[in-house]
Amino acid sequence: MAKIVESVPNRELVGVVEKLRGLGFNPVFLTSEKTNLRRLQKMSRQEVQQVKGIFKEISGGVYRKRITAAHQAYLTEEEFDTRVDAASLEKLAKMLRILGFLTQTKVYLFWKKPTDSLSL
């Protein structure tokens, strides 16, 4: 196998995850929707509002679209903020899961069948 490319996460999204860490979210388990939901259910209303506020700091239409799983080409800042404000705990847990996937380092590999030296 040969390493083709390694994609590193967006710095802004990594910063968002670090802010969420301050609210008790473990970045390792961020891709677990159940873990996120349990954490959100234990939070006060004020802490949940802080999570929503952290999400609202995200800029860049492609990340907003992916995080909210919007089925439209582009979300304006106002549309994104409205969706974040209206999000239930379950929807926030899904958004956290998507954020977790977006902040993973991805490595793309290429596999080539080894040549058999005996078949010459």
Model confidence at 118, in pLDDT bands (50, 70, 90)?
A: low
What does the pLDDT look like over 28-48, one tens digit per residue?
Answer: 999 999 999 999 999 999 999
Q: Judge whether residue 65 has pLDDT over 70.
A: yes
Q: With contact defined as beta carbons under 8 Å apart, do 101 and 9 qualify?
A: no
Distance, CA of 79 to CA of 83 (rounded, Å): 6
What does the pLDDT look like over 6-21, one tens digit per residue?
Answer: 888 889 999 999 999 9
Parse the chain into domains and list their residue ranges: 2-113
One-letter amino acid at 113 equals K
Distance, CA of 14 to CA of 69 (rounded, Å): 19
Q: With contact defined as beta carbons under 8 Å apart, do 108 and 19 qualify?
A: no
Cβ contacts of 79 within 8 Å, gap of 6 or more? 70
pTM: 0.83
